[in-house]
């Protein structure tokens, strides 16, 4: 537990420092996290990171995550075009490899690109928006405090298991505690900047972010249970891998943009 707390504090401090330093530094950090996270995903599925199909996946991750317009003034292809081209390249590999790269493998790698690539894309995109620091802190504040409240709420009040076949320690009471604290967090942001966020909007965002964040955590837990592993990696002592720490983020950030909540 001590190692977990120390690692969490140091990682959070570094992450927030990069977030505050500016969109470029924050973007570079997230590009690195996305690449490492995709590497974890590849290994989690029993594949090598240097095979041609994995390299196509890494190229897709980089293309989706790098903010080409903001960094280089170059307008990238629309997401639907990039995703189709990636699908085509993955399928082409099954032909050129004479099925040594199977359709099962490319399907997993393709899902990983969309899941991780778009997740980190929208994290960077949020920071690049007008008042991006405010919106990014709002979402992370709701996500992180949901986790804290769900943990302690479950420890103090937990009696009913939320989804024991997926995550045996999570409780309904913990989930509700997380949602309440997330809504309260969003309301505080609304009070600080009422010109940007109305109270009813804040309450809706806080609730949706909490529910989505907890679902994102369960998605990763379900996937690891299928693969019979505890953590996606070992890069963060006491916390596991990058995907273990960002599973909520890469679900929340795309969703709030696709719904037009920000």
Q: Are strands 167-171 and 161-163 parallel, antiparallel or unpaired?
A: antiparallel
pLDDT value at residue 2: 65
CB 96 within 8 A of CB 53: no
pLDDT at 1: 60
Q: State how far the Cα of 142 lies from the Cα of 257, in Å rounded to an integer.
A: 16
Q: Report the percent of the chain where pLDDT is more than 70.
A: 97
Q: Which residue has the higher pLDDT, 254 or 231?
A: 254
Q: 3-state class of 161 per DSSP?
A: strand
Most confident of 43-47, 67-71, 210-214: 210-214
Give 42-50 contacts, CB < 8 A, sequence gap 24+. Answer: 42/109, 42/112, 43/233, 44/223, 44/224, 44/227, 44/229, 44/232, 44/243, 45/105, 45/108, 45/109, 45/112, 45/227, 47/105, 47/108, 47/109
Q: What is the pLDDT of residue 164?
A: 83
CA 204 to chain centre: 20
- Using CA atoms, how far apart are residues 32 and 28, in angstroms rounded to an integer? 6
pLDDT digits (tens, 9 = 90+) for 223-249: 888 888 877 877 776 667 899 889 999
Of 134, 143, 133, the C-alpha closest to 21 is 133
Burial code (b: 16+ CB inside 10 Å, e: under 16) for 103-130 equals: eebbebbbebbbbbbbbbbbbbbbbbee
- The structural domains of the chain, with segments of one domain joined by +, span 1-128, 129-262
Which pLDDT belongs to residue 7? 73
Cα–Cα distance, 26 to 15 (Å, whole number): 8
Residue 241: count of CB within 10 angstroms of its CB:
22
**Which pLDDT value is given to residue 147?**
93
Residues 133-174 pLDDT 10s:
999 999 999 999 999 999 999 888 878 888 888 887 889 999
Q: Would you place residue 101 in the very low, low, confident or very high pLDDT band (cuts 50, 70, 90)?
A: confident
User: 202 or 101, which is more confident?
Assistant: 202
Least confident residue range of 139-143, 169-173, 186-190, 199-203: 169-173
pLDDT of residue 146: 96
Residue that has been written with the tokens 């995109």 in this structure: 125
CB atoms within 10 A of CB 135: 22
Give the list of residues 6+ apart from residue 135 with CB closer than 8 angstroms, or none.
126, 129, 262
What is the Cα–Cα distance from 32 to 34, expressed in whole angstroms?
A: 5
Q: How many CA atoms lie within 13 A of 104 on its CB side?
A: 4
Query: pLDDT digit string (tens) for 9-23?
Result: 888 889 999 999 988
């Amino acid at each position: 537990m001590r190692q977990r707390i120390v690692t969490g504090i140091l990682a959070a401090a570094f992450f927030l420092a990069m977030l505050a330093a500016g969109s470029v530094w924050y973007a570079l950090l997230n590009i690195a996290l996305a690449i490492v996270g995709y590497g974890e995903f590849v290994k989690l599925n029993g594949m090598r990171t240097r095979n041609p199909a994995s390299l196509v996946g890494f190229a897709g991750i980089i293309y989706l995550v790098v903010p080409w317009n903001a960094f280089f003034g170059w307008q990238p292809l629309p997401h639907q075009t990039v995703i189709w081209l990636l699908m085509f390249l993955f399928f082409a590999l099954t032909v050129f490899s004479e099925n040594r790269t199977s359709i099962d493998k490319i399907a997993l790698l393709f899902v990983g690109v969309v899941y991780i690539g778009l997740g980190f894309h929208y994290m960077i995109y949020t920071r690049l928006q007008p008042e991006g620091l405010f919106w990014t802190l709002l979402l992370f504040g709701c996500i992180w405090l949901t986790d804290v409240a769900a943990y302690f709420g479950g420890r103090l009040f937990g009696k009913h298991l939320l989804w024991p076949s997926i995550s045996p320690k999570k409780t309904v009471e913990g989930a509700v505690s997380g949602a309440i604290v997330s809504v309260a967090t969003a309301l505080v942001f609304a009070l600080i900047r009422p010109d940007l966020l109305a109270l009813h909007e804040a309450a809706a965002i806080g609730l949706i972010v909490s529910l989505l964040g907890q679902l994102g955590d369960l998605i990763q837990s379900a996937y690891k249970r299928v693969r019979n592993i505890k953590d996606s990696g070992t890069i963060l002592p006491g916390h596991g891998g990058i995907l273990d720490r960002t599973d909520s983020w890469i679900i929340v950030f795309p969703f709030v943009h696709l719904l037009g909540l920000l």
